[in-house]
Amino acid sequence: MVFNSYTFVVFFAIVLFLHYLPLAWRTKKINLLLASYLFYALWNPPFILLLWLSTVVDYQMARLIWQEQRPARRKMLLTVSLVLNLGMLSYFKYGGFLLENFTAILSAMGVTFQAARPDIILPVGISFYTFVTLSYTLDVYRKKFAPEPSFLNFALFVTYFPHLVAGPIVRPEDLIPQFKTPRQATARQIYQGLFLLSLGLFMKVTVADGLLADTADLIFGLPFPVRTLDAWIGVLAFSGQIFCDFAGYSTCAIGASLCLGITLPDNFRYPYAAVGFSDFWRRWHITLSTWLRDYLYIPLGGNRKGRPRTYVNLMLTMLLGGLWHGASWTFVVWGALHGLFLCIERLIRDGLDRTRRRRTAAHQEGALSEGTVISRAALGPALSLRGRSGQFLLALLTLFLVNITWVFFRATTFKGAGLLLLSMFGVIPNGAPMLTTTAILTVGLVTVGIIVCHWRMRNSSLERLMERLPWWALGMVWAILLISLVLAQKSTSSFIYFQF
């Protein structure tokens, strides 16, 4: 079931009706749990067994880890949990990829090996709920908190339908405490939740699918080079599409949950207004980036083991983050580019910090040496970018580089990515025009609209904006969203991140 379907409208109405009946809180939680399993089962019922297995294994392993005092036994129990969870994820998501690369390696060594391609169906949301359950087991192992005694609360934490398929990737502290006491939304939460649900559907149905998807699919699907303008418009179309699609899902999830009186963490904070790649990952898919930081980057040593090790840890984290998105080397390259840009940004920032420290030390000594004066002159252009206009230019540079990385994220082959990049920079002769003037203007206007919106809202939030707007203005915006949904509704398409 997808949010952008009439089936979900009926499903959600029934869930709300049952949730606000005068029933015991335990009964309401059971209703939510059963509804979550139904929500997932409508894709492929047998995969509920995998979801159930992951839930049971991590619930029991966390209890055993907490009770065990011997370090070696605790590590063994944690290993069992990791092997079972990551083993399922590796088989279903990376089985074909690993076999394909194994065959290629043997072929390069002169060994002929032809294996039948495994017919593996990727369970929807397996990457998301695997990370959810792993965070729980790892936190119990670290003694961050005691295991949850109620299996009902834990099972609902894992399977809660708004976040189940494509996030946000919740932590135990995000949801389990909310399940311990009865939750009922206030009137304000209900209208905010319904507005967010409408906004998320508008982003997905009207903008991502209705205005951008066809252009992106056309340009990325061509097996030959295109003119430079068409190449850039195709990439910008995908850039807007993936944001509106994924952020639209997260907005729907947060809104639907808020209607039930349960809050989910933010997953996007206007990422196309990011100044630098560190800022980008504080704004894009926030729950994944913080997960990778807390459970991969920091355990690897973070920035505590010297500058070279910091760069290695950044690259490893982003490489694995890229591979998390899909079983393809193009995703690995996408992650590698983000890791490279993060390393370059840190290198520049470290250099500027050292220069500032030298200037400060020189001032404290009461004399500026000639070298310090030169350093100040060299630092001048960077310091001039501190203003709002300078920050905007850096944000545009960041967005430019982000769009370069999106080529590898969207392209299915390196050949396709290479042709598109060459076309974008005019390295190869321009082909025939492929896009109409209407398509170019549409993507251009949507792109400018997204950038302006993100820049104006980069230090604010939707909740604050909704509080500031008068009721009639909010009502007009809401009406426009709903009318556009009715006009733009076509065949239902899944959200992009369902494939991850």
Q: Which residues are catalytic?
A: 325
Q: Residue 347 has which token pair?
A: 């290198």
Count CA atoms within 13 Å of residue 410 on its CB side.
28
Burial degree of 186 (CB within 10 A; 0-12, 13-18, 19+): exposed
Q: Which residue has the tokens 């207004």?
A: 273
Query: How far is the C-alpha of 87 from the C-alpha of 6, rounded, in Å?
Result: 36
Q: Which two tokens stand for residue 342?
A: 């993060």
Q: At residue 4, what are phi and psi to the nearest 5 degrees?
A: -90, 55
The set of residues, in sequence order, having a beta carbon less than 8 Å from that of 374 and lying 6+ positions away, is: none
> Which two tokens mark 397?
């540079």
Respond yes or no on whether the N-terminal peptide bond of residue 225 is cis (omega within 30° of 0). no
Q: How many helices (H) and strands (E) does the chain have?
A: 21, 0
Query: CB-based contacts of 203: which residues, under 8 Å, 6+ apart?
Result: 244, 245, 247, 248, 251
Structure tokens that stand for 382 in this block: 């960077």
Q: Cα separation of 39 and 23, whole Å?
A: 22
Q: Whole-angstrom Cα distance, residue 29 to residue 411?
A: 42
Determine the Cα angle at 57 with ends 54 and 61, to 5°.
140
